Every structure is written in structure tokens, then in C-alpha cells.
Amino acid sequence: MHDLDEHREAREPVSLAKESAAPEAAEPGTAAAQSGQAPVWRRGGRAVRGAVTHERTRTAARASVRHSMYVIGGTRIVARRAWDGRTAARYERMMRTAEAAGQHEAAAEWEERGRQFRAARHQRRMELLTSAPRIAKSAAIGAGATVAGLFVLGGVLAIANEDIAQVLAPPLAVIEVIRIIVLVASVVWGPLVVATPWMALAALWGVGRKAEAAPAWVLPAAQRSSDGEPVTPSIVVQALRNLGVPALRKAIGEMGDGGAGMLGPITIAGCGVEVDVTLPSGVSTDEVQSRRRKLAENLARHEHEVFITIPEAARTVRLWIADSGALDEPIGPSPLAIDTTARGDYKGGRAPWGQDLRGDAALISLFQRHLLITGLSNQGKTASLRALALWLALDASVEFRIGDLKGVGDWKPFEGIATTLIEGPTDEHVAQVVDMLEEGVAEMERRIMAPASSTFRPLILLVDEAQVAFMCPAAGEDKRPYGGTKATSRYFQAARKIHNQGRAVDVVLWQGTQDPTDQNLPKLVREGAHIRASLVLGTESQARMALGDKAVDGGAAPHKLRQGLDKGTVVVAGDGVKLAPGQSSVTIRTHYINDDEAEAIAQRAKALRDGVTTLHAVEAGEERDHLADIASVVGDAPRVLTQDVLKRLADVSSTYGKWSFIHLKAALEGTGAEPYKSDGRMVIGRDRLSRALANRPEDGSASTHG
């Protein structure tokens, strides 16, 4: 009794602790309430709920469902295989798949294979109908020959042993063997009958487990190596099946070949592999593209190590899967830095910009192509743009006029190469860059008006950090803003004019800009570039602004690059870079050229030129009274053609040497003497000029627009 009392006392604290932990209060007036305990039904309900929701219970339930589905799925797969083996269903399915993919030759081949299968099956059935007599006859002959053989053998033994009884020894031995076999079979038959269904279930379970024929939510977590797994057809099919697209999973489960027919050959492509996947009917390429991260994880890769593009074939996606960690390795120095004999060739050459994902050299043609490169800050935009300019600087025929609106010295190597180099972020620097572009427009128009046989040096107008110009609120003395996105913006208008007509006379505009938006990169300007490249961006909408909808819909994803880790990696769309058939973009890992290497390349470029004097500001020209000069060249004529006015102004002063109709119209805007049409041609009237001169204020008698 003493021991029991001690045991009871030892248990009481535990009981009190359990009672005090109960959160619910019992009904008042009950015995349970008086003792401080919850009702039995509540405690029982909590116990049942806890048991049902316990992790072990859920794990056991998932395991039960998983293994049950393995058996069901294995049965379905075996039945499908049996059906395919007995019928022409496989050939019909492959024929429909080929027809849906537009592969008519393959469809015809599968149709012929199906016809041959049906003909062979019919032949086998016809032979089976006539085989019974032949089988019976063959069995009788075989049995007779066997018995005769045994007696012949017995006769030989009888002669050898001089015992006539040996004649029956071989037949009796065969009879004894048959008796033993029957005896063993009678003993084994019962357990075999019992075990056969379980063996069949185990076989079906094995088939289902190998094919993972169970819902994704009951499958165990995949065990992946941190180094990534080799890419095999089974891994690709498994990754696609577990992508979360019900139609795709169902179609793969119904395929007799386990989905292998969807895959083209897996080929080595640079630091990874590439494979084309023909999707089953009812599955769109968008459903695969939108699940890029999940597909990468299913392939034991990071998201940035898998690229999905759309080739020419219908309902097909092209997967490029990097070797794990390969994209974090450098690609090596630029050929410009290691080959001191390298030369640029504007017309017929291609700049060595880097390597594509296949590991091939990425070469880009710059001949008569406007260029736009954009990306987030500090991701290698200027370095990528400067690498192209350095290659082209090694062609002595090319003239550069550069506006660097960052102004931290990135373009200093072009001192002595560029005829104009403006560096700085202020409104004054923007004004100078705008003047530089407008001079480029005037040069373009002069070339367009020149005789057809004229030849000109290629002129590259390069503006780095162009968003500074677009966002500039300042205006010139003519009240027209330097920046902005409206038609009144001088920078916008100059860029549009060069985009429209510049390439025909080798006046080309290159721009680098940050964080593309409609405010700092207007649609008409970004769509005017022949080559559009983007480093890492923050959002898909920015990617569409940078590269266009077609490129992004085709798989271009600069917003999927890793900020800070993928510096210098650009996604390029346009006609200046070699693209695979059906592709709208290519991803390039550009060579990095540091400042010392850039200076060395620039020195080689300077040696090819005859001493270029670099201007750091656009000359404004002498101060002229434009209205008075125009009136003087019109003279006493009632009206003069605008073309003749421009020629006469050029004779008056070199300030007007680069003027175009745009400059003439701007000088007369708001005076009442603007050009107008007479007999279908633009003219300037003497009477209107006289009234404008008479009516203008005294402080407006001199113009400093020139």
C-alpha cells in the first residue's frame, strides 16, 4: 500500500497539469465543471482531430494513396501496352501526333507501318485457322518418334547389358520423371495459386512506381544533388510531367513510349544541352513558358540555368539546360584585347561581342543599323556598348560623335577618335548633345540631297544615358524643350528623323539608357532601333519596352536574369545578330573590356587615323539675326522657294551651311512669315517678312539661335 500511495502522489502533478492546460470550460453545474475538466465528448473530439491531422497520419495516408495509385497506374500502363501490342492504336496515335505537328512525311511513314502491322496480323490469324491439323499431325509424329527413340535406346542398353528387360528402362524412366513432376506440381500448385495474384500486384506496383503514376501531392520530395543531375530523356519527361499541367501529365501517361516520342535528340550546346519538345495536343507553349522556374527545379537547376524559346515547328518548345554552375564561370577576354592585329569593318564585318549560350562566338553586324541597349543601373550597359564602339573605332573610315550624359570618364579613351565628345549630366550638357544630334540631322539631309554618286563616311551618333536627355525639362531660347516625349522635344525629333532616314546615308544613332519606361524611352524611339539589346531588368513590362512584344513572347526574358550576378549578359533582338530559325532573340554573355584594355585598343585606333581633334562642345556659330538675313536673301521678289532661300543663306554666312528646312521653319515660327505652299511648292513671301520685321519688338531684333 505504501508503494501505491507513492505512485499515486507521483502522478497527481501530471494530472493537475493536464487539467489546467484544457482551454475549454465545462458546462456549469456538471461534475466535469466542478472538477475543472472539459466534457468527455469534447476531449474525445480533440483527440480524434489530433490523430487525424497529425503529420504521421497524413504521411501514412499519402503513402497509402501513393502505393494504391502505383498499382492502378501500373495496371493502366500494362493494359495500354497490351492494347498497343495487339492493335494498331500505337500507329494511329503517332500518325495523329505527326499530323498535328505538320510533319506529313512522318505521318505517311506511320500510316504505312500501321498498314504493314495489320497485314501481318491478318496473315497470322489466317494461318492459325489452318494450323490445328498440322499441329495434331506434328504432335502425333513427334510422340511416335519419341517412343520409338526410347525403345531403340532400350534395345541398345539390352544388347550392351545382355538383359532383355533393359528395353523398357528408358520409357519407364520417362514415366517416372513425369510422375515426379506431377507430384511436385501438386505440392507447389496451391501456394502458387495463392501467390500469383500478389506477384501480379507487385509487378503492376513496380511498373506504376517506375512511371510515378500517382498524383503529385502524394509523391515523395525529389532528392536532388546540389551539383545538378545529367540531363537524360527520362529526366526531361519527368520534369514536364510534374510541371503542373494536367493535360500534359495525362498525355504523357497515355503514351506507350512513356513520353519519349515528344523529345528530339538531346545535343550538347555550349556549357549545356539543348532539346526540342513537341507538346501533345491540348498543351500550349505558353503553359510551359510560364512555368520556367518549376521546370528548372524539376530538372535540378536554378531558374537562370534554363531557357525556353519557341522554334519554327508548331506546338514546340526548345529547352536549353545549362550544366549546373556553368553560367557563373567567365567566358574569357575579348579578341580585341588579345589580338593586336584585329581590325574593324563597318560594311562587311561583324563585331566579336561575346558568346551565346551554345558557346559559339556571338558576332554582330553594325552596318547601317541603329542600336538601343538598356538595362538596370550598374549591370554593364556602358561596357557592352563601349565594346562595340571600340571594335568599330578600328575602322578608320568611321566618324564618332559621342554624348556621355553620365560624365564619369567611361568614354575618355575616345579622346582623339571622336570628333565630338560631350561629357556631363547637366542641362547644359543635354543642350550640347541635342545640338550634336541636330547637326547630325543636318548632315543626313545634306547627304540625302547630294548627287546619287556621292560617297560618305559612316557617322555614328552615340548617346550614353539617353534617359537624361529625355527627362531634361530645360528649353532653349526658341522655347522648345530639349527633352520630353512630345513632338516639341528637340531630342525626340532629332532621334526620330535619324531613325527614319539616317541608315540610307550611313548616319546611325546608338543609344544606351536605363530602366526603360514610356517617359524616359518613348515608344517611337525604341521601336526605331534595328538592334535592341537588354541587360537585366526588373519587370516583364520593362522587357517588352526594351525588346518588343514579339521577342518576349518568343522567350526573351531579360527580367529573369540575376541582378548583380549576370553583369554583361544581354538579350538581343533584331536583324544584326544571327538567330536560329524561328527564334526572335539570342542571349549573349559579352566580353568585358576594362579601362586599361580599352585605352590600349583606343591607342591602336588612333594610330589608324590622321590626328583627330576632339571637340568638347558643339560650336554655336556667330550670332546672326535670322529674320533679317532671310529678308535680305528674299530681296524684292514677291516669293522665293525655300530651297533657294537655304542656298542663299549659306552664301551669306557659314552659320547657315548646315541648315535644313526644319531650321528655316523653326527660325520663322511664330513670326507670321512661316513658309507656305504656292503652286504646290514651299515658298517664303516678301510681304510677310516685311510685316514680321515691322511688328517684332525692339529687344527681338537679334537672334542667337545660330
Q: Nearest-5° angle of CA 160, CA 161, CA 162?
A: 95
For 270-357, list the strands marked E by DSSP.
272-278, 306-309, 316-322, 351-356
Average pLDDT over residues 308-313: 83
Which of 509, 515, 521, 540 is closest to 381 using CA atoms?
A: 515
pLDDT given at position 32: 47
pLDDT in tens, 163-218: 888 888 888 888 888 889 888 888 888 888 888 888 888 888 888 777 767 766 66
Residue 517 CB partners (closer than 8 Å, separation 6+): 542, 545
Q: What is the dihedral of CA 410, 412, 417, 423, to 10 degrees?
A: 80
**Three-state SS string across 34-89, please?**
HHCCCCHHHHHHHHHHHHHHCHHHHHHHHHHHHHHHHHHHHHHHHHHHHHHHHCCH
d(CA 302, CA 317): 19
Q: What pLDDT score was predicted for residue 680?
A: 84
Is the per-residue pLDDT at 24 higher than 70?
A: no
Say which DSSP state 217 is in: G
Q: Which three cell numbers stand for residue 690?
A: 516685311
- Distance separating the N- and C-terminal Cα atoms of the chain: 119
Give the span between the Cα atoms of 497 and 503, in whole angstroms. 11
pLDDT tens-digit map of 470-525: 999 888 877 888 988 887 889 999 999 999 999 999 999 999 999 888 888 888 88
Give, for 524, the enclosing helix (H) or strand (E): helix 523-526
Q: What is the pLDDT of residue 636?
A: 85
Higher pLDDT among residues 377 and 26, named by residue:
377
Q: What pairs with residue 263 in β-bridges?
A: 277
- So what's the pLDDT on residue 63? 79
User: Considering only CA atoms, which of 578, 598, 587 is closest in space to residue 363?
Assistant: 578
Task: Please state, rounded to an integer, the average pLDDT across all residues of the chain.
Answer: 82
pTM: 0.58
* Integer angstrom CA distances of residue 576 from 109, 269, 351, 443, 648: 40, 22, 10, 24, 42
Q: Specify binding-site residues for ATP.
A: 375-382
pLDDT of residue 26: 47
**Cell reading at 216:** 503529385
Residue 641's nearest CA partner among 630, 625, 652 is: 630
In DSSP terms, 574 is beta-bridged to 531
Residue 573: C-alpha distances to residues 370, 392, 511 (Å): 12, 20, 15
pLDDT at 229: 61
Instruction: Please answer whether residues 545 and 529 qualify as being in contact, where contact means their C-beta atoms are separated by less than 8 angstroms.
Output: no
Distance (Å, rounded) from C-alpha 427 to C-alpha 61? 70
- pLDDT of 49 reads 73
User: What is the b/e burial string over 622-645, where b = at least 16 CB atoms within 10 angstroms of the residue's CB?
Assistant: eebbbbebbbebbeeeebbebeeb
Helix (H) or strand (E) holding 677: strand 676-678
Beta bridge partners of 597: none
What's the confidence (pLDDT) of residue 451? Answer: 84
**Inter-residue contact 315 to 278 (CB < 8 Å):** yes
| pLDDT at res. 3 | 44
What is the predicted pLDDT for the residue at 594?
A: 93
- Range 338-354 average pLDDT: 92
For position 221, what pLDDT does the model report? 54
Q: Which residue has the higher pLDDT, 484 or 388?
A: 388
Is residue 326 left, alpha or beta, with left meaning phi > 0 and alpha meaning psi from -120 to 50?
alpha
CA 274 – CA 285 distance, rounded (Å): 17
DSSP codes joined into one string, 617-646? S--------HHHHHHHHHTT-SEEEHHHHH
Average pLDDT over residues 282-289: 87
- pLDDT score, position 305: 85
For residues 44-57, give the mean pLDDT: 72
Q: What is the pLDDT of residues 415-440, one digit of tens each?
A: 999 999 999 999 999 999 999 999 99
pLDDT at 8: 42
Show binding-site residues: 375-382
Provide CB contacts within 8 A for 354, sequence distance 6+: 331, 361, 362, 568, 570, 588, 589, 590, 591
Mean pLDDT of 20-26: 43
Most confident of 135-144, 173-182, 533-542: 533-542
Burial class (CB in 10 A: 0-12, 13-18, 19+), 179: exposed
| Cα 171 to Cα 166: distance, rounded to the nearest angstrom | 10
Q: How far apart are CA 309 and CA 293, in angstroms?
A: 14
Half-sphere exposure at residue 160, Cβ-oriented, CA atoms within 13 angstroms: 9
At 429 the pLDDT is 93
pLDDT digits (tens, 9 = 90+) for 638-660: 999 998 888 888 877 767 776 77
The stretches of 87-130 forming alpha helices (DSSP H) are: 89-100, 104-129
Q: Give the three-class secondary structure for 100.
A: helix
DSSP 611-623: -PPPBSS------
Q: Is the dihedral of CA 277, 283, 286, 290 positive or negative?
A: negative
Per-residue pLDDT tens digits for 208-231: 777 767 766 666 654 334 445 678
User: What's the CA angle centered on 214, arms 211 and 216, to 5 degrees?
Assistant: 110
CATH topology for 226-328 is Threonyl-tRNA Synthetase; Chain A, domain 2 (3.30.980)
Q: In angstroms, rounded to a whole number, what is the distance separating the alpha carbons of residues 527 and 542?
A: 14
**Whether the predicted pLDDT of 80 surpasses 90:** no
Q: What pLDDT, on the 0 to 100 scale, is given for residue 59?
A: 79
- Please check whether residue 413 is in contact with residue 601, taking contact to mean a CB–CB distance below 8 angstroms: yes
Say whether pLDDT at 1 is over 80: no
Fold classified for 349-608 = Rossmann fold (3.40.50)
